[in-house]
Amino acid sequence: MPKNFSITIITISLAVLLATECGYNPTVEYRFVLPDNYIGWVEIDFGAPSGPDWRFSQLKTTVEIPETGVAETRSPIGLVPSKRARVVLFYQNGRNVVPVPSELYSGPVQDNSLIKPIKGPQRSAARQDAGSWYFFVGPPSLRGPYPSHGKLKPDAKAPTPGRITVPHPPNSGAPGL
């Protein structure tokens, strides 16, 4: 084999490898629409047979969170947003959607979330991709005793999803935030 041919093959292989590693890597965007002024834990149950599949269009999906704070999806828990994904929170304000103020969730949502796998007999072969993902919306002081992020043991007590009533500070006349 000619020496130039080997150098050409090596050069092309390196170029392909570099293009693959350093090439365009699109960001997936998750949009969560919460009830207006929602403060509290959100629970997303993955692998729920009665839930809808998450649909992505142009690498974006929108998930509406009901007042209960619990949403279900048939999609596998592998669709929990990765650290590379973009997560955007919105409030449903009448017919409009407005961004949730950034001070109501610290840092990337993924860094302040908890995952709890399904345990025991419920975890059948059909439900091996099932589990719950929790994230908190609100001031850190209201988060409660839960770790800032990580994976909960299957038998650990999970956060209670739903709106938290935030008391008004005394003599302020303004909502408590």
| Res. 22 pLDDT band, cuts 50 70 90 | low
Beta-carbon neighbour count of residue 118 at 10 Å?
Answer: 19
pLDDT digits (tens, 9 = 90+) for 34-80: 999 999 999 999 999 999 999 999 999 999 999 999 999 999 988 88
- What pTM does this model have? 0.74
